[in-house]
A and B are shown apart, each in its own frame.
Chain A
C-alpha cells in the first residue's frame, strides 16, 4: 500500500507538471479527460514531449526488520510470535538444511536420480508459511520445500517421493522434489515454469466465490517471472480481483543466467503497481520481514479480494540442481559471502540466542537429532519397493479407458515373455 503511494508520488514528481495558469486554461480539457478515453487513467494532458525515463524513479526499498546480527532494528517490527512457534520455525529451517545436505550427497552417490537444495532461501519458505492459515492453498515452483515441511510434511513423505517408492504420494511418476500433499494444501509441483501462476489465480477466484476466507499463495523465481504465464497471472489476478499472494524468490540467478540478463527493470517488484497490484520488496534472509509482509499481504488479500506481490531478495547459495555446477558461471567468493555473512539461518539463530531461547548446547543436540531423523527416514525410503508397474497406466484419466486397458494387458504379456530383461523384482506386485 505505502509502496504503491511511494511509487506513484515518485512517478508524479518526475512527470512534467503544468503551471497553474495553464491548468486553468486547460481546465476544460482536463475536466473531461476521463470521458475522452475509455481506458481508465488518472492522467491529465501535457503539452510537453517528454518520455518517462527508464530510471525515472528510485528502486523499491527492501523492507527489513533485523540486521545481520539478528537484532530487531525496527521499533515494533518484532512480530511477537510465541516461543513454541519460533522454535518450530528454526527447526523447520535447519531440518530442511540437514535434509538438503543428505539428499544432495545421496544424489552424488547415485542413490536418487535428481535433487534441488534450498540453501539460503529457508527464511522465505518458513517465514511465509508461518504467516499463512494452514488451509490456504500453496502453489509452488520447486524450491519451496520448507513451506511443506513447516506445514507438517513428514520426512518420510519427502524421502518416499525422492525415491519414487510405493509409498510416494505421487506414485513414483514425477522426478524428485516434485512434492504435493492434499492434506497440507500444497498443490503438486510440476517442472514447466510459471504454469502454476495463472492456475493459482483461478483457485483464488474459486475461493473468493466460495467466501471461505482463504487465500492462495503462489511462489516463483525471478527467472520464471519472465514467462508469459507470469504476465497472464498478474493481469488476471488484478482484473478479476483475486485473493492471492504472489511470492517471488529473487535469488539472483535462473540456472546460469544472472538477473541482469533476465530483466532491465528494478527487479520484479515494479511490475506489481503496473498491473494494479499492491507490492512490497523484502529482505528474504530476514525471517521476520518475510513473516510480517506475508501476514499483512494475507490480510489485504482476504479482506479486500485483491492480489499482493511480495518480492523477497535472497541468494541461491547452492547449485541450481544436482545437474548443475554453478562454479562455471559465478565465483566461489560470491557464494561464500552469502553463506558466511548473510545467511537466514545464522541470522535467526542469533536472534533466538539473544532472546535466551536457544544456545550452543541445544543447537548441538538438535543438530544430531535432525541428522538422525533424516538418516532414518532415508534408510526406510531406500528399502521400499517401487510402486506396482500397473500404476504406469492409472490416473491418466479418472478411470482406465479401453485403449489403455488393452495397452496394460499388452505390457503384462510382454513382461511375461521377457521378464529377465526388466527390473521387475524392484517393483511391488
Chain B
C-alpha cells in the first residue's frame, strides 16, 4: 500500500490545483478519524480510494478493475500502481465505450467475479443508462434470483469541480434513484470513501459509487490503512443541532457545515447537519428523527432542483413529519439549467444561498 501511495504524481488531473481558482465554494471539514481500525495514515480521497481498491483486489482473486485509462493509473490517479501489483488481467483498459464497460461488468458479475467498473466522469454514464437501469438493476428480479450481478460496482467521478462546464460537473444521482434494484452511494471524505467503497464492492447488489472529484486532492485526513467498511443505507448526523436539519451529501456536506457555523455565530441558530451518504436506499429513520426534533429542514444538492433527489426527501419528510414542521422545507439546489462554465459561482448552492434558505425557514 505504502509503495503505491508513494508513486502518486501530482499532475494529470482536472481537479483544481492551488491557485487555479482563487475561492473554493466550500471549506473542507476533516472527518473524525476511525480509531479502532489500527494504524492511520494521511490520505487524500483519491489515495483512500486506491487503498480500498487495493484491498479489494487483494482479498478476492476474482476481482477486476477496468474502464477507460485505468491501467496507467487513471486520469485521476485512483488506480495508480494496481496493474503493476495485480497484473494486466486484473486491472486493464477497455475500449472507449461506456455501454460496453457496464455490460461487460454485468457479465463478469453474472459469472460470480467481482467487477469494479470505472466510468471516467459521471457525465458520461448515460450511454450505459440502459445497461444500468434495464439490465443491472433488474437482473435478480427478472430471473427469480436464478442470476444476479450483485458483485458489480460502478465507480464514477461526480459533482462540480470549479471549471468543469457541462460535461465534467454533473450530479446524476436522481436519474438512478428512480431505479429499484440499484444502490447509490456518495462519500464526503477520504475516510468515508474507503469504508463505503469497500461496502459497495462486497454488497450483493449492483452499486453506483459517485466520487466527488473536487475532493480527490483537496480532502486529506488520517485514514486507517487496514480494511474497514461503513454500512450502506445509513446516514450520519455530522453535527448535532436543535433548530433546523440540513441535509446534503458529497461536497455539499462541507458547505452545510460551514453554513451551520456561520448561522450559529451570526444568528444563534443551531443546525443539525446530516450526511445522507446513501441515496438509494436512503436512511428515512435518521432523517425523520432529526426533523421531528428540529421542526425545520433544508435540503441542498448541486444537481438541478426539478426532479432532484431533494424532491423525494421533501415529499417523504412532509408525509412523515407533517405535524412537526414549523416551516416549508427549503430546497437549495442547482438551477434548472445545464451546468454552466463561467457562471459556476452563481449556479452552485453555495453557503450564501444556503444561509438565505436557513433564514427563510427560521423567520417563517
| Chain A contacts to B: CB under 8 angstroms | 137, 168-171, 173-174, 178, 180-182, 187-188, 190, 192, 195, 197-207, 209-210, 228-229, 231-233, 235-236, 239-240, 394-398, 401-403
Contact = CB atoms under 8 A, between A and B. Distances in A.
Nearest to B206: A397
Given A171-B144, A180-B143, 8 more contacts: A170-B146, A180-B146, A187-B147, A204-B107, A232-B97, A395-B141, A396-B181, A402-B285
B72 interface: no
A356 B141 CA distance: 48
19 contacts: A169-B143, A169-B146, A173-B141, A173-B144, A188-B142, A190-B135, A192-B134, A198-B100, A198-B102, A201-B100, A202-B109, A202-B110, A202-B111, A203-B107, A231-B97, A232-B100, A236-B100, A239-B95, A403-B281
Contacts of B130: 192, 195, 229
Contact of B103 (A137, A187, A229, A397): A229
Contacts of B112: 206
Contacts of A397: 140, 181, 183, 204-205
Given A170-B143, A190-B134, A240-B94, A206 B100 contact: no
Contacts of A396: 140-141, 180-181
A159 B156 CA distance: 42
Contacts of B109: 202
Contacts of B89: 209
B150 A205 contact: no
B257 interface: no
A201 B104 contact: yes
Nearest to B141: A395
B62 A228 contact: no
Given A199-B106, A202-B105, A229 B140 contact: no
B146 A235 contact: no
B293 interface: no
A207 to B, nearest CB: 7
Contacts of A192: 130, 134-135
B50 interface: no
Contact of A229 (B100, B110, B146): B100
A202 B148 contact: no
A401 B184 CA distance: 14
B145 A395 contact: yes
Interface of B: 62, 64, 89, 92, 94-95, 97, 99-100, 102-113, 115, 127, 130-131, 134-135, 138-148, 150, 180-181, 183, 204-205, 233, 281, 284-285
A168 B100 contact: no
B309 to A, nearest CB: 14
- Candidate in A137, A181, A398 with the most chain B CB atoms within 10 angstroms: A398
Contacts, number: 153
B100 A169 contact: no
Contact of B142 (A190, A203, A209, A233): A190
A202 B144 contact: no
A195 B100 CA distance: 9
B142 A174 contact: yes
Nearest to A197: B103
Contact of A202 (B97, B115, B142): B115
B204 to A, nearest CB: 4
- Candidate in B109, B143, B183 with the most chain A CB atoms within 10 angstroms: B143
Contact of B204 (A168, A199, A398): A398
- Candidate in B107, B110, B135 with the most chain A CB atoms within 10 angstroms: B107
A188 B111 contact: no
B142 A178 contact: yes
Contacts of A236: 94-95, 97, 100, 104
Given A206-B112, A403-B284, A228 B145 contact: no
Contacts of A205: 64, 104, 107-108
Given A229-B99, A396-B180, A402 B281 contact: yes
B141 to A, nearest CB: 5
A169 B140 contact: no
A229 B181 CA distance: 22
Contacts of B146: 169-170, 180-182, 188
The 6 A-B residue pairs whose C-beta atoms are closest, nearest first, are A202-B107, A198-B103, A232-B100, A206-B111, A188-B143, A199-B107
Contacts of B62: 206, 209-210
Contacts of A206: 62, 107-108, 111-113
B111 A207 contact: yes
B2 to A, nearest CB: 28
B129 to A, nearest CB: 11
Given A180-B143, A182-B146, A202 B103 contact: yes
B104 A198 contact: yes
A195 B97 contact: no
Contacts of A204: 107
B110 A199 contact: yes
Nearest to B92: A240
Given A229-B100, A397-B205, A203 B110 contact: yes
B142 A137 contact: no
B257 to A, nearest CB: 28
Contact of B134 (A195, A401, A403): A195
B204 A169 contact: no
Contacts of B99: 198, 228-229, 232
Given A201-B107, A202-B104, A398 B94 contact: no
B109 to A, nearest CB: 8
A178 B109 CA distance: 20
A210 B111 CA distance: 10
A410 to B, nearest CB: 12
Contacts of A168: 144
A197 to B, nearest CB: 7
Contacts of A198: 99-100, 102-104, 106-107, 131
Nearest to A204: B107
A200 B107 contact: yes
Nearest to B89: A209
Contacts of A195: 103, 130-131, 134-135
Nearest to A208: B89
A170 B100 CA distance: 26
A164 to B, nearest CB: 11
Contact of A402 (B138, B141, B284): B284
Contacts of A174: 142
A180 B147 contact: yes
A206 B92 CA distance: 13
Nearest to A137: B111
A232 B130 CA distance: 13
Nearest to B97: A232
A106 to B, nearest CB: 22
